[in-house]
Amino acid sequence: PWVGLSRTRAWREWHLLATLQQRDLPVPQPVAARVIREGLFYTADIITCRLPDCRPLADMLSEAPLPALVWQAIGACVRRFHDEQVYHADLNAANILLDQPDHVYLVDFDRARFRNPGRWRAANLSRLRRSLNKFAGMCTRFYFSDEDWEALLAGYSRKRPQ
């Protein structure tokens, strides 16, 4: 239902992405948002710049294992967002994109928001792990191991694994 332009998902996502871009976080650049009110309801769209040569983490893991350095880069990327108090409500293996071995982007911020520090960070990481385990259960081949998760956590904590 219509509750005002500033409360629509497309409007909020566009403004959040613009803020994250200003903070130099790896997100697609927002180009435009459109909201069309139709009585009590609305339809909405958002346009972002294409991230060339990027592939979802989930797709890459269905083809080959990734080196520990890539997992560390993923962890470091998630940590950058958490350090900026960004809660990504749909942090999963399909919303993490890679274009170079260690260049990581996050996408799909329609339900994301800024949050005060708290336990949500650990819950957000747990959500990502559940996503990886879910893909592993659905795919015939999916290259994800406990060692990969440890490398991600090492990147998140900015420590190198032993």
The residue from 45, 53, 83, 90 that is catalytic is: 90
Q: Is 90 a catalytic residue?
A: yes
Show Cβ contacts of residue 29 under 8 Å, excluding neighbours closer than 6 positions: 17, 21, 48, 49
Q: In angstroms, rounded to a whole number, what is the distance separating the alpha carbons of residues 50 and 29?
A: 8
User: Amino acid identity of 46?
Assistant: I
Write phi, then psi, for 100 (nearest 5 degrees): -120, 170
Q: Which two tokens stand for residue 89?
A: 């409500």
Place of tokens 């071995």: 101
* Residue 69 near residue 34 (C-beta atoms within 8 A): no
* Residue 104 near residue 93 (C-beta atoms within 8 A): no
Q: In angstroms, rounded to a whole number, what is the distance separating the alpha carbons of residues 123 and 121?
A: 5
Residues known to be catalytic: 90
